[in-house]
Structure 1
């Protein structure tokens, strides 16, 4: 008899958590490396689960892949850790059960942190060593990203005909984090060759059973479930699970009634929980028919049709001006609003509001955008950084923007906090700018990060940042192309200070599928010029510019005029090459930006008159 043959007529009991028991003994390092450093501890845990009634034991190899082991400096031990992981499990099980080689998901919510190609390489390496030890089957568990699981399943199915169990993990009831319904996801996995499909982690028995109520019995695959012990408590820096094992006795019967044939435990479960389930299902007969609860319809309302065209639409039709005016560093907004009024009068298309630029605290840009909405008709373009907001905060911020009627957003990684006023502050970076762009695009489909419907579709126009001040411009353009693939609609560049660089950027980006707003920031004086030239990475001013500014260093008024003159020279060429112009206001000196905006508008009038 083999695993699949047993599942035809039996409900098999899997094991429970490994990390929970190791934590309980004060171990808080790389659990997988213990296969070779403390093998007796791992063997004893396997044995404890077997004695509790588990007949399907998974190897202690969940994170035994190159990228995860690298965090602990153990990346060169992939072979030894996986081989010993199988041997320890086999030694504990003997002839009284099955050993599944376990491979865990790598991606969580940071899809950009590792490419599919890297995942494939590390997966193939781990798979090779697990199969070399003749495991009875494979268990792929805690996969939040369906794309990743489909990718590794296809590889594994090509390499082996051994039984494969695939368990997805859900943030929300009924849907994966990309919005795929659980029923559809399991059907996809079945079609790709998974022999057992189901879910593990994240939810306890209550929610996992609710999920399974909507899942029918499948034609070619059996169902599995590995619930957490409960919702955890956070106590003294640790997650504590406190579910009574008797609860698992009762819920095991409910899992049987939902058609589960492989039932184990995940986070927080112990041999006591597994023993309770094994006793409840001893001699239990699997069901062969099931009444499926119909999933409630998912209703996502479309947003109202936007009266104003988006910035990425405007700039494809004509020249467009956007201006950055940083929110104040101190309380009091009179000067800011005065500048915003003046810029509105100059006819700009949007006022961009930075999100604590240079990692220094400022009045919330969302608050400033609300003031602009109340007092002006100027469209706010709100910057959103990954530095200051975790995944929860980013989604809350986006929902707030949508609710207030703001739909122009610039997705940024954000300057690290160490360069700002509080270098000891934490930089969050739950997401990268690529991930944030994907998230906003998903919001436009009416789906939250967890896959749960938002109730409405947002209507964000998504800008991405472009830094042309790099040594290898081609690599910067490749980043832009990747951002377009993630969903960026257009780009806003950092300031450029030479006509030659403008021309280089034009040639490098002219085939890009998204328009660019070119950054122009007037110099305010010689000190400003020297700072940019010597201390801002990538920005180099010509000797001619430095000399021009230094000649009038002690004349503030003349320095400002020269800075504007230099900016106008750049605008003349940028206007010929690009439709989008991004004016960056230096040090709240909005009168300089107003003059440049008026200059661009005058050029536009001349151009129109010539056409007439």
Structure 2
């Protein structure tokens, strides 16, 4: 399952779809929605998020297990450094390993101050590179303290993330290089919104791989796409989310459409997003689609 996903990542078209577990003891309703739309037939795999914005959600590892069992498709489970110390990270990886949850997206995590839970404090023993180091140890059949396991874990495939925009692009390259050196097989970008940024990110990734003497040149850049169908979403991303650049032309077109009607606003936003998806697919068909569980939009983008 995972070797096929990695083969597609390196050699073919690769598309994964993000799912966000809800504030609920059940994840099956999300899976049922995916199945009702036939999305399992349109993507190569899924991902599950880990309490984004420090808001309490269903566990990402359990959600990944349920998705894999229903669709027999690989799932990349997110693990955040915010909520776990070194012991908990390793314990979760051990349990996930026997359950065949072996593609892990390592995140530092959003600040705990954003949480909806009282008195929450972030753990943050390190940033996401610590989890990449732990995974490298597991793949060498030792724990982070260097103690050998009685049974060798099944291979774990680590993924990382990087912003899609920075005033100084070299900072992005350095972050890519660091995660390549730590063994990431794929690096997923924050959403991109223009082809120029796409080409720059690909160039930076190639430079990062060439300059990384410790990692593998098999690491692949995966371009994040988040469709925008509302003006307020575009303005929020442009103004309040670091590491993302929404072009002025998108905001202007959405503003004009917004003045006509909500239907026109949606139409214009969807057309911009669909055109971007198709253009990126031609240039570099390694895409991670994020829709905040608006799976109808995901299907319309993918078909």
Query: What's the TM-score once normalised by structure 2's chain length?
Result: 0.89
* 1:562 aligned residue: 268
* 1:522 aligned residue: 227
Corresponding residue SS for 1:410: strand
Q: Please say if 1:491 is aligned against 2:213.
A: no
Q: Is the 8 A contact 2:16 2:44 kept in 1?
A: yes
Please list, as runs of the form range in 1=range in 2, the aligned pairs for 1:6-25 lying within 5 A after superposition: none
What is the CA deviation profile of residues 456-487 of structure 1, one whole-angstrom value per residue up to 9, with x for unaligned ones?
13311111111122222212111111111111
Corresponding residue SS for 2:53: helix
Please list, as runs of the form range in 1=range in 2, the aligned pairs for 1:167-178 lying within 5 A after superposition: none
Indicate how the Cα distance of structure 1 residues 569 and 449 shifts in structure 2: closer, same or farther if over 3 A, else same.
same
Q: Is the 8 A contact 1:417 1:427 kept in 2?
A: yes
1:343 and 1:581 map into 2 onto residues whose CA distance is 19
Indicate how the Cα distance of structure 1 residues 596 and 358 shifts in structure 2: closer, same or farther if over 3 A, else same.
same
Corresponding residue SS for 1:553: helix
1:469 and 1:423 map into 2 onto residues whose CA distance is 33
| Cα drift, residue 559 of structure 1 | 3.0
Structure 2: unaligned runs, 5 residues or longer: 210-216
Indicate how the Cα distance of structure 1 residues 424 and 481 shifts in structure 2: closer, same or farther if over 3 A, else same.
same
Larger radius of gyration: 1
* 2:256 aligned residue: 551
1:457 and 1:332 map into 2 onto residues whose CA distance is 29
What is the CA deviation profile of residues 469-523 of structure 1, one whole-angstrom value per residue up to 9, with x for unaligned ones?
2222212111111111111111111101122211221222234332111000001
* 2:279 aligned residue: 573
| Cα drift, residue 326 of structure 1 | 0.7
* 1:583 aligned residue: 289
| Cα drift, residue 404 of structure 1 | 0.5
Query: What's the TM-score once normalised by structure 1's chain length?
Result: 0.45
Aligned length: 291
1:519 and 1:474 map into 2 onto residues whose CA distance is 19
Structure 1: unaligned runs, 5 residues or longer: 1-306, 599-612
Q: Please say if 1:595 is aligned against 2:289.
A: no
* 1:448 aligned residue: 143
Indicate how the Cα distance of structure 1 residues 437 and 308 shifts in structure 2: closer, same or farther if over 3 A, else same.
closer
Q: Is the 8 A contact 1:359 1:421 kept in 2?
A: yes
| Cα drift, residue 437 of structure 1 | 0.3
| Cα drift, residue 319 of structure 1 | 1.0
* 2:14 aligned residue: 320
Corresponding residue SS for 2:122: coil
Q: Please say if 1:405 is aligned against 2:100.
A: yes
Please list, as runs of the form range in 1=range in 2, the aligned pairs for 1:39-58 lying within 5 A after superposition: none
| Cα drift, residue 411 of structure 1 | 0.9
1:405 and 1:345 map into 2 onto residues whose CA distance is 18
| Cα drift, residue 596 of structure 1 | 1.6
Q: Is the 8 A contact 1:321 1:597 kept in 2?
A: no
Question: Could you say which structure has the greater relative contact order, defined with CA pairs below 8 angstroms and 6 or more residues apart?
Answer: 2
| Cα drift, residue 308 of structure 1 | 4.4
